[in-house]
Structure 1
Amino acid sequence: MKKDIEIPKVEGVYVAVVNEYNDIYKTQDWNAYIINDKDVDLDVVLIVTSGYSDKKMTSIFRKKLDVLPKKSYAKIELMQEELFALNNEFKVTFFEGNTMFEKTYLFRKNTINKKSLQSVPLMKVKGVLVK
């Protein structure tokens, strides 16, 4: 029975944490984004985030996007720097056509920092990226 269940591999969908200037508050903020680098729209995108360590756990944050258009990105949440000392997990589920996909993106503790910045697809900025 288990052998009959097909779990498709997620490709072309990423999560990035980007350090960017906030014009309203005049601060440098860290924001998490979901990126759809595919040539198709993603439907009913569900994102569940949490941070954890051996001794601490954050509350669970949920976000839903009805559609994430092809070759686009959307902000998930503002991240406080105190969270970077924790493992930060983003569980993403979405539909591509009639097929459901699911993937967990994990930023291990202390990996979100300015030394780890790299080019982020589509956004033309630098950030910490998990594929």
Structure 2
Amino acid sequence: MKKDIEIPKVEGVYVAIVNEYNDIYNTHDWNAYIINDKTVDLDMVIIVTSGYSQDKTTSVFRKKIDVLPKKSYAKIELMQEELFALNNTFKISFFEGSQMFDKTYLFRKNTINLNALQPIPLMDVKGVLVK
């Protein structure tokens, strides 16, 4: 029975941590985004995030996006810099048509920093990307 379960590979959906200027507070903030680089909309996107190390664990954050249009992105959450010393996971589940997809994106500890910035697909910014 296990052999009959097909788990499709997730492609074209990314998570990025972006350092951007906040006009309201005049600060540079780190924000997490989900990016849909596919040519189809994603339905009922569920995102569960948490951070952990050997001796610390953060609380779990959950977010639902009803529809993430094709070739678009959406903000997930503001990230405190203290979290970058932890491993940060983003577990994302969504429907593409009638097929369910699921993937866990991992930002390893200390990999989110200004030296690791790279161009982010669909966004005219630089950040840290996990595919």
Over aligned residues, Cα RMSD in angstroms? 0.3
Q: Secondary structure at the match of 1:83?
A: helix
What amino acid sits opposite 2:63 in the alignment? K
TM-score between the two structures when normalised by the length of structure 2: 1.00
Residue 53 (structure 1) aligns with: 53
- 2:130 matched to which residue of 1? 130
Query: 2: distance between equivalents of 1:49 and 1:73?
Result: 17
Write the distance in 2 (CA, Å) between the matches of 1:100 and 1:124.
29
Unaligned runs of 5+ in 2: none
- The separation in 1 between residues aligned to 2:114 and 2:20, in whole angstroms, is 11
Shift of 1:124: 1.5
Residues 1:30 and 2:20 are matched in the alignment: no
Q: TM-score scaled to structure 1, two decimals? A: 1.00
**Are residues 1:90 and 2:90 paired?**
yes
* Partner Cα distance (1:21, 1:86) in 2: 23
Percent identical pairs in the alignment equals 82
Equivalent-residue separation in structure 2 for 1:125 and 1:97 (angstroms): 30
Give the Cα separation in 1 of the matches to 2:24 and 2:114.
22
**Which residue in 2 is equivalent to 1:15?**
15
Query: What residue in structure 1 maps to residue 118 of structure 2?
Result: 118
